[in-house]
Amino acid sequence: MGKYNDLAKDIIKNVGGKENINGLTHCVTRLRFKLKDEGKANDDVLKNMQGIVTVMKSGGQYQVVIGNNVQDVYNDVTALIDVDNLNTSSQEKKPGKLLDKAIDVVSGIFQPILGIMAACGMVKGLNALFVAMGLYSDTSGGYLMINAIGDALFTFLPLFLGYTSAKKFGLKPMIGLVVGAIMCYPGIQASSISANKDAIFTLFQGTMFASPVYIDFFGIPVISMDYTGTVIPVILAVYFASKCEKLFNKFIPDLVKFFFVPMLTLLVALPVAFIVIGPIATFGSTIISEFVFAIRDFSPLLAGAIVGGTWQILVIFGMHWGFIPVYINNIMTMGYDNVMMPFFACTFATSAVVLAILFKTKDKKLKEMALPNFISGIFGVTEPAIYGILLPLKKPFIISCIAGAIGGGFYGFFNFRKFMVGGMGIFELPAMIEPDGSMGNLIVALSGIAITMVIAFVLTMILYKDKEEVNEEPKEEIKEVATEEKNNNMINKEVIDSPIKGEVIKLSNIQDDAFASGVLGSGVAIMPTEGIVVAPVDGEITTLFPSLHAIGITSEKGVELLIHVGLDTVQLGGKGFKAYVKQGDKVKKGQHLLDFNIEEIKNSGYSVVTPVVITNTAEYLEVAETKSENVDRGNSLITVIF
């Protein structure tokens, strides 16, 4: 029984139970579930659970962000479910966006090998570093052996991707492994064939796709390629093989399926892979590379700034996976990558922002979170800092993106490159030493780190304020209003707490004329960051709409409030909502009233902006709204002056 056994049980229970799980993988910070029905998962319960940073939904995955202990939690979860026998190919087919599907495919293929890939990359990087330092030569036996340890995975990468792609596409994993092995077979590599034969002729001569032909397949010309270390060709070949396997399974008799289906699958899929799929995939990579380099030729600085400024946003939505194959392909085909590498600045921008918060904040809980998240970020794992600190505070996240853009622009301008796959954070630095041992690129890397961290740290120290400081503003304003009214012998008031956590928006700025005009009463709107509604006052539930999207409460002092979750959400008929009270119930301030599923509402095409208004505004002398930009449940939101 593992250390996180109880947490594992709670996670399984709140993602809908074992029977709701179709697949499970993990990366450096997250458990990534494939659920049959995400609606059965208890988002808010999981988000508030000790040991969980947050919950994300992206790319068709239900992601439970754990942090640095994800491996241990994963081990305890998989001990409770038979993860190896989860049939990902039989998952329910749900409609989804093409981008989400693409991200899901790429992430599902690469996640299982990212850890070992990073480890091997670090071995290669350290080996290069030690040679550059003169500790041993690149002809010594020690170098050759360590290089083999680090380089084997990348040389035979199609084998690994053949296996993981097969599991993703529903092909028998051993067939996928064989497909990858065949694509690494020495006898069919272009370098091997060209060394022993003269070209018969050249296809597409005079273009970027010029390809000498050395062999044919029963009269069909075969464009020879070197597939060792490549990414896209084997993934597409395995996908095609999975379709072949399904086809042959339909008509091959059960008696001989055991060997005839894999035999026919390989005999059909591999020639097609070598004749059609491989060359097209390689040509596609050539086009992408040329396009990217054209943009970089126009302005490397701008290209780097865009990557550096948007990388963390891409990570949050899981969209960064789309760059991984390009990154690996560039290193394998060109010997370096300079397209994705400006993202390197983001790691240190995040770490510097967290460090500044550590120095500036007086919040003990925030200090406790900041130090380990800073250390984690320096080592390349930034998700705990992003989800646990930067995003909830908003402004620090924006600062980190700005600093990342500046650092990324610096890296783009100086053509910053990485020469080997692997490593994270400071452990990537050895992979930035140029193959000839010169240190110019490494100096650029270190300079970019320094520039990015200084900018991020200084901006945070200047612009960041603790929540306590921000919340003083409305209290002072309310105090001033109360003092003014006291002077006029009007001292009765009622403070309405915020029923929802989120960003405060002026009522006049929302896209609903009835609320924006104030005809329904004065108040504010909140853009919620979590789907929980609590009672803002002691009082009685006077209205609860059948659709559960709106609650009316009358306070003990007679203030009538309306909490309207979302705009036009009555159309949902209660879908995505769950009430914990009924009309006529007496409630206490802070009592849990309602849950609503933010993502479900958004996916249905409706806004989650939530007006909170005093419907009997005309009976009061003044209704003063908070000046805070953000509120938590229980913070002062509206002060009603009698």
Q: Mind listing the pLDDT tens digit for each residue in 11-31?
A: 999 999 988 998 887 765 678
Identify the pLDDT of residue 123.
80
Residue 467: the pLDDT is: 58
Cα–Cα distance, 90 to 338 (Å, whole number): 39
pLDDT at 386: 78
- Indicate if 265 and 306 belong to the same structural domain: no
pTM over 0.85, yes/no: no
Tally Cβ neighbours within 10 Å of residue 480.
11
- In this structure, the answer to whether residues 60 and 73 fall within a common structural domain is yes
Regarding whether 361 and 452 lie in a shared domain, the answer is yes
- Higher-pLDDT residue of 230 and 635 is 635
Q: What is the mean pLDDT of residues 330-352?
A: 86
488 and 439 in a common domain? no
Mean pLDDT of 60-76: 81
| The pLDDT of residue 321 | 53
Q: What is the pLDDT of residue 406?
A: 96
Q: Say how many Å lie between the first and final Cα of the chain, rounded.
A: 61
Same domain, 528 and 615: yes
Q: Which domain holds residue 325?
A: 300-464
Looking at the fold, whether 493 and 605 belong to one and the same domain comes out as yes
Higher pLDDT: 403 or 310? It is 403
Alpha helices in 37-196 (DSSP H): 43-47, 70-80, 98-132, 141-155, 157-169, 173-183, 190-196
Task: Please tell me the predicted confidence (pLDDT) of residue 469.
Answer: 43
DSSP code per residue over 587-604 = E-TT-EEEEE-HHHHHHT
What is the number of structural domains in the chain?
Answer: 4
The distance from CA 56 to its chain's CA centroid, rounded to whole angstroms, is 8
CATH number of the domain that residue 81 is part of: 3.30.1360.60
Give the per-residue pLDDT at 482: 46
Q: For 59, list phi and psi in degrees, rounded to 5.
A: 60, 30
Last residue of a domain, one of 410, 433, 464: 464
**pLDDT for residue 286:** 66
104 compared with 505, residue with greater pLDDT: 505
409 pLDDT higher than 90 = yes
Using alpha carbons, select from 271, 136, 282, 158 the residue that is nearest to residue 215. Answer: 271
Task: Kindly state the average pLDDT of the residues 213-242.
Answer: 88
- What is the domain-level CATH number for residue 611? 2.70.70.10
| Nearest to 607, CA basis, from 521, 549, 524 | 549
Q: Which residue has the higher pLDDT, 84 or 334?
A: 334
Same domain, 223 and 272: yes
pLDDT at 314: 72
For residues 541 and 608, membership in a common domain is answered with yes
**Domain final residue pick, 464, 498, 529:** 464
Predicted pLDDT at 617: 83
Q: Which of 409, 440, 464 is the last residue of a domain?
A: 464
Residue 462: alpha-carbon gap to chain centroid: 29
The rounded mean pLDDT for the chain is 83
Q: Identify the band that residue 319 occupies on the pLDDT scale cut at 50, 70 and 90.
A: low
Distance CA 479, CA 324 (A): 54
Identify the pLDDT of residue 463.
Answer: 92
255 within a domain of the structure (yes/no): yes
What's the whole-number mean pLDDT along residues 209-236? 85
- Separation CA 314–CA 56 (nearest Å): 13
Same domain, yes or no, for 496 and 634?
A: yes
> In which band, very low, low, confident or very high, does the pLDDT at 471 lie, cut at 50, 70 and 90?
very low
The residues annotated as belonging to the active site are 27, 564
Which pLDDT does position 98 carry in this prediction?
Answer: 61
Q: Are 34 and 60 in contact (CB under 8 A)?
A: yes
Name the E strands within 468-573: 493-497, 502-506, 522-528, 532-534, 539-544, 550-555, 560-564
* Pair 194, 230 in one domain: yes
pLDDT beyond 80 at 269: yes
Predicted confidence (pLDDT) at residue 408 exceeds the cutoff of 60: yes
- Which of 54, 49, 9, 12 shows the shortest CA–CA distance to 30? 54
Strands 211-217 and 201-203: antiparallel
Q: Which residue has the higher pLDDT, 449 or 190?
A: 449
Bridge partners (DSSP) listed for residue 32: 25, 63
Q: Which stretch, 29-43, 389-403, 442-456, has highest mean pLDDT?
A: 442-456
- Which pLDDT band, with edges at 50, 70 and 90, does 133 fall under? confident
User: How many angstroms separate the Cα of 367 from the Cα of each of 110, 213, 216, 236, 359?
Assistant: 34, 64, 66, 48, 8
> By C-alpha distance, which of 340, 339, 377, 329 is closest to 355?
377
